């Protein structure tokens, strides 16, 4: 079985944010991720990680758009300056929180101009932060309409074009299922690029029990292929988080 991490932006939402770190540790998680850790005191979050002995796996870049705009703009040709400004801001947070990975969100876009902008911005970012490990993640357009990086073949193309040792694939099993309908086949083609894995059940994006995704088979494939990173639980609990964590100990049912 893989090692599991808790996405604290989704799990333990019934608790105040700073209490979620201790709750994750008490539930048996060894690591956590926070999608947008920009609104709470950074040192307080770092203290919670240390006190609870938790690895910090991942955070997103850029910071959220307070005006309700798109999440990410790395693929927006007209926003290169803003991308660089906000990437540097994310690095300041990462300097305290010390995540293993920073997920660079493409945001909306289409066509060759968006592809070229994303490649240019990723090449700049990987050179700007050579000691940071960055990821890109295909996200399905059912959940995020208009998102540019919505395909695993496109992600592979981008990774090959940038060709940076500190850039890898963030493989979300839920998104892979929604994009391709063939989770195992998609992993077979692209799993060798994956540095971080996320999961949720479908339909509903709830616990990884029941539904359309055969997680026992997927986890067995991860083990067989020697994947040694974390698998982050990024789902909306049906009730309380603790009530739905049986899958951690017995293995998810497909």
Active-site residue among 137, 153, 207, 212? 137
Question: Residue 64 corresponds to which tokens in the numbers above?
Answer: 């959220």
26 catalytic per annotation: no
Query: Are the C-beta atoms of 56 and 35 separated by less than 8 Å?
Result: no
Question: Residue 37 corresponds to which tokens in the numbers above?
Answer: 């850790």
What SS3 state is found at 2? coil
Active-site residue among 153, 207, 212, 234? 234
33 catalytic per annotation: no
State the Cα–Cα distance between residues 57 and 73, nearest whole angstrom: 22
Question: Residue 139 corresponds to which tokens in the numbers above?
Answer: 């996200």
Q: Pairing mode, if any, of strands 194-199 and 230-233?
A: parallel
Which residue, chain included where needed, has tokens 């979300």? Answer: 172
- How many residues in the chain? 254
Nearest Cα to 13, choosing from 195, 170, 238?
238
- Catalytic positions are 137, 234
């Amino acid at each position: 079985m893989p090692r599991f991490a808790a996405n604290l932006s989704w799990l333990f939402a019934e608790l105040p944010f700073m209490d979620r770190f201790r709750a994750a540790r008490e539930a048996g998680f060894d690591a956590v991720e926070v999608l947008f850790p920009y609104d709470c005191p950074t040192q307080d979050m770092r203290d919670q990680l240390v006190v609870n002995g938790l690895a910090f796996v991942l955070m997103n870049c850029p910071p959220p758009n307070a005006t309700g705009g798109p999440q990410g703009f790395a693929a927006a040709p007209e926003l290169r300056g803003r991308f660089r400004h906000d990437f540097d801001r994310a690095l300041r947070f990462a300097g305290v929180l010390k995540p293993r990975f920073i997920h660079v969100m493409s945001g909306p876009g289409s066509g060759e101009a968006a592809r070229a902008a994303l490649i240019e911005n990723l090449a700049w970012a990987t050179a700007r932060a050579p000691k940071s490990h960055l990821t890109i993640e295909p996200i399905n357009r059912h959940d995020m309409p208009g998102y540019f990086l919505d395909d695993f073949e496109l992600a592979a193309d981008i990774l090959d074009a940038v060709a940076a040792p500190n850039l890898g694939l963030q493989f979300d099993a839920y998104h892979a299922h929604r994009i391709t309908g063939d989770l195992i086949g998609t992993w077979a083609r692209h799993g060798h690029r994956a540095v971080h894995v996320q999961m949720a059940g479908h339909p509903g994006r709830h616990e990884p029990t029941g539904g359309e995704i055969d997680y026992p088979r997927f986890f067995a494939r991860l083990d067989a292929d020697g994947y040694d990173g974390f698998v982050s639980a990024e789902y909306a609990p049906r009730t309380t988080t603790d009530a739905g964590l049986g899958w951690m100990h017995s293995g998810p049912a497909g």
